[in-house]
Structure 1
Amino acid sequence: MATEMKEEQNTLKQRTQNQVIEIGVMNKKEEKESKEIEKDDLEDQQAPQDACEIIPPWRKQITVRGLFASFAIGVIYSIIVMKINLSNGLAPNLNVSAALMAFVFIKSWTKILHKAGILTTPFTRQENTVILTCAVACYSLALGGGFASYLLGLNRKTYEQAGIDTVGNTPGSHKEPGVGWMTGYLFVVSFVGLLALVPLRKIMIIDYKLTYPSGTATAVLINGFHSPQGDKMAKKQVRGFAKFLTFSFFWGFFQWFYSGGDTCGFSQFPTFGLQAWRQTFYFNFSMMYIGAGMICSHRVNLSLILGAVISWGVMWPLIRGLKGDWYSSSLPESNMKSLQGYKVFIAISLILGDGLYNFLKVLIVTIRSMYASMKNRGITNVADPQSQSLDHLRRNEVFMKDNIPVWIACLGYSLFACISIIVIPRMFPEMRWYYIVIAYIFAPAFGFCNAYGAGLTDMNMAYNYGTVALFVLAAWGGKDSGVVAGLVGCGVIKSIVSVCNDLMQDLKAAHLTLTSPRSMLLSQAIGTAMACVVAPLSFFLFYKAFDVGNPDGEFKAPYALIYRNMAILGVEGFSALPRHCLQLCSAAFIFAAGVNLARDLSPPKFGRWAPLPMAMAVPFLVGAYFAIDMCVGTSIVFAWHKINKKKASLMVPAVASGMICGDGLWILPSAILALAKVKPPICMKFLSA
């Protein structure tokens, strides 16, 4: 092995010398162009310049310790993401936190073994990339697997909330969650996307040089960890992470003692008075939401509070005052023909307006970029070695070395598609086999468009493709089976398209960290297999211990009702809307599209303050309390950057991750106490004088 590594190093040095000689004889014009390209090439600025680095074979990049670390991180983050997703449906990006935990886990492991006198293999950035990919794949299904949206929208509670007397909401169009069928469904639909775009990886990453900002950011983070400066910074981040994780965990434990009843505890503290508390304006004292606010951008958090003020501060009190005129005074507010209907459908309109605008925007950008790339390739060779640096050539060589045969990808895609065509109609008789055939015919094209657009804009439009499938299949299925067919079909398309995007982001990170595509694809497959088991179990931890789906409870799962009502809207049309709701929905739709258009047409200094309609829609159903918590988090970040910008940039991700993880870790003991029927001893409650 040592001889092979030495020969490889000598070969690399010889190749480097030959390339340097070739570049040295270029004329002055070519040399100037080469320097300009090298200066502008983002990837060359981000990746470490080490042409003689010895890269372990792809089989050695996947290690037993790495898989164990991935599983542990995946389980922890699945529980965390599930809590946030079931609470409000808006989860922050935790990849930075997961990368830090992966680095800490393996570094601590090797240090312990070293002190015990046991030699271990070095921890490389390739292994770190593989661990992060596997862990993210493991907990991503907790967020995108439909446990708080289309799958939960099938249960009886959501069916009843949508209105038993609603025409499209036919009796029997519900299916209670179960570990068995949910695990089987995920295994069937989650692996297809891994193989859909494998043949196009060279075109999208090497030929078109798509940036994939999230994948690039992940690579920069990992490359930084494995530099001398990165090790020192990681130690500071670890101390901050551990400190706030401990504080957050014990704060959750302390709060539990005072929550012995409905609307009890610090989470119901009437911070701004009882009148504001009744309209959900209060500070929730949740370390998880504060941490999420520290990770999310200021724009997201301010959009949340704006949506909360418009809905709970203005619209709902006014519509409630029209009770008996716009809707029957005999109906409870939770009925879809009452106030709840306005909440749900106006939120849907904001989401659809924002989603449709961004979908068309990304589609236009994608078409223009593809046309420009094809036109340029006719003039100059995109992959011309004379126009690229040595590091870039090295990355291209490593990326293409461990090739994934096209026939394996095509065969695997066809095999998984056939399994889906057989299995899914047995799980859901409303989902006809030819619906799935059509879905799998169009899915690779949708996946390509989404992955290409994400490479340019970093926007994952999988939700939009899933929504289109939901409306089409709901209308096609009709009143008898449209709702179930729409929800299940939405999951099929959304899973494929989303995984295609995730895989391309990971392959971009692999390209920048000199990691083998084979090890990345295999680690993503292993992580997905873990997720198919971990995600349903983490969901049932909440589903059995807490009142999931209760509109007045902590775990409202707002998107379950939204998705079901979108399916009903696809079956019934506008007849499903309450009185005057169509006019309000039209205004919300136009507002969402108009805000996005104004942002894109405005100068950047003004456009960056435009609100995000998708974020504004979440408080319409959930309430204002979590938006206040997240604004507290964003205020902390703003003040910290004003006091010490350098330290804030280093420590904010670690501190926020510690808050989120500490609160998330408390979920496990609190769920066990709830399952054991152990209730908190004290109820702290505030009443009017």
Structure 2
Amino acid sequence: MSGRSMELMEDECIEKIFESKEVPRWQDQLTLRALVVSFMLSILFTFIVMKLNLTTGIVPSLGVSVGLLGFLFVNSWTKILHKSGFLTLPFTRQENTVVQTCVIASAGIAFSGGFGSYLLAMSQVVARQSTSAKNPENIKNPSLSWMIGFLFLTSFVGLFCVLPLRKIMILDFKLIFPSGTATAHLINSFHTPRGAKRAKKQVRFLGKFFSFSFLWGFFQWFFAATETCGFSNFPTFGLKAYQNKFYFDFSATYVGVGMICPYIINVSMLLGAVLSWGIMWPLIEKKEGDWYSAHLSSSSLNGLQGYRVFIAIAMILGDGLYNFIKILSRTLLGLYHQLRSKNISSITGNATTSPPTPALSCDEQRRNHFFLEDAVPTWVAIVGYITIAAISSATIPHIFYQLKWYHIVLLYILAPALAFCNAYGAGLTNWSMAAGYGKLAIFMIGAWAGVSHGGVLAGLAACGVMMNIVSTASDLTQDFKTGYLTLASPRTMFVSQIIGTAMGCVITPCVFWLFYKAFNDLGLSTSPYPAPYALMYRNIAILGVEGVSSLPKHCLTLCWVFFIAALAINLVRDAVGPKRGRFIPMPMAMAIPFYLGGYFAIDMCVGSLILFIWEKIDKAKADAFAPAVASGLICGDGIWALPSSLLGFAGVKPPICMKFLSQKDNARVDGVLSS
């Protein structure tokens, strides 16, 4: 659904289109078929998010994919049963919203649960790649039991944080919540006659490219007997470029992600790859024996790998700090203006069902009525928060003995204010700063605990507590906005979020465990699943408790240069305005290839190029169907990760190794084989 068609729908007064359709009770919006479809889609999207987490760490918005597939599955279910002679309730937009909420909440645990960042950073595999803090007090290997328990203890608190502020943010402050609003417009459009026809066409596009992507992943598997074999190691631009991580690796996922991500993100990553692997690392490599020892392994952080990791961390911290301060200041400034322009009593008073004022539009009148009708009592939020906080404070130290109960109590005291700031900031900017608040917890709790008392692990665990709280709080508020615009009851949204979160607390660790057991090298830089943020988070925790004494020569100077450069680039982007700023690269996106290389950036730029050409040929068709094509590519390759992991878990290896050698190396191999 294009932005223009969504705008037109809004101008037509959407609720008049749906006026003849009865809005189900909130209990009737939570149907069995919606929950079954949510469970199926949660597994699919958890595989997709997990694969992205463990490869590049970049996870685009998958709301369009979830909304489209949710509509397809439930609509098909309803039609099949109806044709079979079974009486079924009609498929409503409220039900579609339930599916959307459950799936996003469940798959969101794959991000906030830290399976590609702080949680994996605790493991021995990642610890071995660090310079220090390798003592048992700072290591905890993944296990299904404690991961599921930890997620259940931390993932629900954020839902109770912002529950009493629902009316303030949606009705009083009228926050935009761009993702939640866009999702609602998409769902509303699906349930109009014109939107349903377009949705069917989008589903056909998605199905075709889903099949192609899945079969392409299956075909590639046959040629990948080892990690250096197969199409994913094709030296597209020559062997020298391949050695410097410049090649097209034929990944349908990255091409699809490139079609969804803004052009500037993909170009920024390519620019970062050229700057690092094309210029900086070859120059620093010439300093071997001077800046760092020539006898170090390629993965040692005391050598070239240290420059790659810590300079990337410096850029990420610089970009994160700038955006953290910017969004926090905008949040506080916006809140100040809101409070000044309104009567304080109207903000802090209890929600009532008083009739809307005549100044409200026809949409707002109907939406306000249903939004206020099923209010969740404030006492539920207070009791729920205190109960879960008390249980967590008593239980989490049994999982991480390095994290004391008073550390957790402090986090829960700070969490409501930070959760509100994150949710409010997301409402203004569409940017969740959950990772920023998590890093804040790393430095605060890690330094408090101290390295000799497991400060690294305590900091990473505290990061998990804080990230789960502020991330789920922001997600729930987005869902409230979606529910407000689709007339889904707030109670429905709250219960759907709880169900989806509970699904994620079980599904996500199981999916991660499948990857973890199937790929022995998961988390290593040479692995197909290097999980780049895991090593970065661990080293951030080490920096928080130990300082910078372990960095290689001149690494700290370069880190400061790139930290300041990240701040300066962001400052320039904001100073020149959005029209010119869209041509200035994003430091966060530039930093990721510093560690991984440019192969995925090339794939994503191919996705951008496909979209750019398509828009030049037929912009209307590209706007309507490009998200479906991208979703098909991502979903097909993502679901192939399931059979691929099962084959790896069962010890089944691909039968062929397709590998490329230079002419000189090939002659040597021929000589060995002929002798």
Match of 2:610? 636
Name the SS of the counterpart of 1:386 in structure 2: coil
Match of 1:147? 115
Determine the C-alpha separation between the residues in 1 that align with 2:596 and 2:566.
Answer: 19
Determine the C-alpha separation between the residues in 2 that align with 1:51 and 1:385.
Answer: 20
Match of 1:405? 377
Match of 1:457? 429
More divergent stretch after superposition (569-578 vs 484-493): 569-578
Change (3 A) 1:354 1:545: same
Name the SS of the counterpart of 1:576 in structure 2: coil
Determine the C-alpha separation between the residues in 2 that align with 1:257 and 1:289.
Answer: 20
Q: Which of 565, 568, 583 is 1:609 aligned to?
A: 583
**Corresponding position: 1:320 with 2:294:** no
Match of 1:298? 263
Q: TM-score, normalised by structure 1?
A: 0.92
Name the SS of the counterpart of 1:520 in structure 2: helix
Does the 8 A contact of 2:218 with 2:640 survive in 1? yes
Match of 2:636? 662
Give the deviation of 1:45 after TM superposition.
6.5
Change (3 A) 1:46 1:426: farther
Match of 1:511? 484
**Corresponding position: 1:207 with 2:179:** no
Q: Which of 69, 73, 89 is 2:37 aligned to?
A: 69
Match of 2:451? 479
Q: Which of 352, 376, 380 is 2:341 aligned to?
A: 376
Q: Which of 45, 52, 55 is 1:87 aligned to?
A: 55
Q: Which of 103, 126, 139 is 2:71 aligned to?
A: 103
Determine the C-alpha separation between the residues in 2 that align with 1:278 and 1:257.
Answer: 23
Q: How does 1:143-292 map to 2 (within 5 A)?
A: 143-163=111-131, 166=132, 168-292=133-257
Give the deviation of 1:311 after TM superposition.
1.0
Aligned partner letter, 1:87 = T
Name the SS of the counterpart of 1:385 in structure 2: coil
Q: Which of 572, 579, 595 is 1:598 aligned to?
A: 572
Aligned partner letter, 1:473 = I
Give the deviation of 1:170 after TM superposition.
3.4
Give the deviation of 1:172 after TM superposition.
3.7
Change (3 A) 1:384 1:250: closer
Deviant stretches of 4+, over 6 Å: 40-46, 379-384
Does the 8 A contact of 2:236 with 2:242 survive in 1? yes
Match of 2:673? none
Match of 1:6? none
Determine the C-alpha separation between the residues in 2 that align with 1:567 and 1:499.
Answer: 23
Determine the C-alpha separation between the residues in 2 that align with 1:380 and 1:545.
Answer: 58
Give the deviation of 1:57 after TM superposition.
0.3
Does the 8 A contact of 2:48 with 2:634 survive in 1? yes
Determine the C-alpha separation between the residues in 1 that align with 2:10 and 2:506.
Answer: 36
Give the deviation of 1:42 after TM superposition.
11
Match of 2:494? 521
Does the 8 A contact of 2:328 with 2:421 survive in 1? yes
Aligned partner letter, 2:436 = N
Determine the C-alpha separation between the residues in 2 that align with 1:54 and 1:572.
Answer: 62
**CA deviations over 1:159-214 (Å, ceiling 9, x no partner):** 11113xx2x44344111101100000000000100101100110111001000001
Q: Which of 316, 326, 329 is 1:351 aligned to?
A: 316
Q: Which of 644, 649, 658 is 1:684 aligned to?
A: 658
Match of 1:124? 92
Aligned partner letter, 1:117 = G
Does the 8 A contact of 1:351 with 1:613 survive in 2? yes
**Corresponding position: 1:672 with 2:637:** no
Aligned partner letter, 1:279 = N
**Corresponding position: 1:421 with 2:393:** yes
**CA deviations over 1:537-572 (Å, ceiling 9, x no partner):** 000111111121121121001111000000000011
Does the 8 A contact of 1:89 with 1:559 survive in 2? yes
Give the deviation of 1:341 after TM superposition.
1.1
Does the 8 A contact of 1:366 with 1:452 survive in 2? yes
Name the SS of the counterpart of 1:679 in structure 2: coil
Aligned partner letter, 2:484 = H
Give the deviation of 1:333 after TM superposition.
2.4
Does the 8 A contact of 2:126 with 2:524 survive in 1? no
**Corresponding position: 1:436 with 2:411:** no
Aligned partner letter, 1:141 = I
Does the 8 A contact of 1:469 with 1:486 survive in 2? yes
Match of 1:497? 470
Name the SS of the counterpart of 2:573 in structure 1: helix
Aligned partner letter, 1:204 = M
Change (3 A) 1:602 1:291: same
Determine the C-alpha separation between the residues in 1 that align with 2:548 and 2:12.
Answer: 53
Percent identity, aligned pairs only, is 55
Determine the C-alpha separation between the residues in 2 that align with 1:218 and 1:412.
Answer: 28
**CA deviations over 1:585-610 (Å, ceiling 9, x no partner):** 11111111111110111043311111
**Corresponding position: 1:466 with 2:438:** yes
Give the deviation of 1:43 after TM superposition.
6.8
Determine the C-alpha separation between the residues in 2 that align with 1:387 and 1:275.
Answer: 67
Does the 8 A contact of 1:48 with 1:223 survive in 2? no
Determine the C-alpha separation between the residues in 2 that align with 1:59 and 1:531.
Answer: 22
Does the 8 A contact of 1:253 with 1:666 survive in 2? yes
Determine the C-alpha separation between the residues in 2 that align with 1:682 and 1:132.
Answer: 41
Does the 8 A contact of 2:137 with 2:457 survive in 1? no
**CA deviations over 1:71-121 (Å, ceiling 9, x no partner):** 000001101111111011111111110110000001111111122121210
Aligned partner letter, 2:191 = H
Aligned partner letter, 1:617 = A
Give the deviation of 1:390 after TM superposition.
2.6
Does the 8 A contact of 1:44 with 1:392 survive in 2? no
Give the deviation of 1:377 after TM superposition.
1.5
Q: Which of 521, 524, 532 is 1:550 aligned to?
A: 524
Match of 2:668? none
More divergent stretch after superposition (256-265 vs 638-647): 256-265
Give the deviation of 1:379 after TM superposition.
11
Change (3 A) 1:180 1:667: same
Determine the C-alpha separation between the residues in 2 that align with 1:613 and 1:335.
Answer: 25
Determine the C-alpha separation between the residues in 2 that align with 1:43 and 1:399.
Answer: 18
Name the SS of the counterpart of 1:642 in structure 2: helix
Change (3 A) 1:379 1:668: closer
Give the deviation of 1:617 after TM superposition.
1.1
Give the deviation of 1:261 after TM superposition.
2.2
Match of 2:329? 364
Change (3 A) 1:570 1:65: same
Determine the C-alpha separation between the residues in 2 that align with 1:185 and 1:44.
Answer: 46
Aligned partner letter, 2:497 = Q
Give the deviation of 1:47 after TM superposition.
4.1
Name the SS of the counterpart of 1:575 in structure 2: coil
Aligned partner letter, 2:170 = I
Q: TM-score, normalised by structure 2?
A: 0.94
Aligned partner letter, 1:492 = V
Match of 1:560? 534
Does the 8 A contact of 1:85 with 1:148 survive in 2? yes
Give the deviation of 1:624 after TM superposition.
0.8
Structure 2, unaligned runs of 5 or more: 1-6, 348-354, 664-675
Name the SS of the counterpart of 2:450 in structure 1: helix
Change (3 A) 1:43 1:500: farther
More divergent stretch after superposition (168-177 vs 226-235): 168-177
Change (3 A) 1:493 1:612: same
